[in-house]
Amino acid sequence: MGTRDARVDAYIAKSRVFARPILTEIRARVHASSSELDEAIKWGMPFFTYDSVLVCYMAAFTAHAAFGFFGGEAVLGKGVEKRDAMGSLGKLTSIKDLPSKA
């Protein structure tokens, strides 16, 4: 079973107010996708790993949050639209910016 890391709790808590619900929702969705993903802090931001292999990450910045797959092109395929920010989803400024759960 995947493990949660208290440092991720601390990262979310110290993030800007707008980013907290975004990061909390991303975290919940990642763990809902697999019970075998572990959390870690790498390069100062939360990563999710499977068997010590980096899978995806999330980050909070001054004016936006980000989520991405490590090796995103391998996961999402070539020709994926380049976003205006780090990550696979572009700049996330509200929970409404996340894709639907469907």
Query: For position 33, which CATH number holds?
Result: 3.90.1150.200
Q: What is the pLDDT of residues 22-61, one digit of tens each?
A: 999 999 999 999 999 999 999 999 999 999 989 999 999 9
DSSP states along 13-76: HHS-TTHHHHHHHHHHHHHHH-TTPEEEEETTEEEEEETTEEEEEEEE-SS-EEEEETTHHHHH
Instruction: Examine residue 46 and state whether it is found in any structural domain, yes or no.
Output: yes
Query: Binning pLDDT at 50, 70 and 90, where does residue 2 land?
Result: confident
**Domain count across the chain:** 1
17 is a domain residue? yes
Is residue 1 assigned to a domain? no
**pLDDT digits over 58-74, tens only?**
999 999 999 998 764 44
> Structural domain of residue 14, as residue ranges?
6-97
- Read off the pTM: 0.84
The rounded distance, in Å, linking the Cα atoms of 57 and 74 is 15
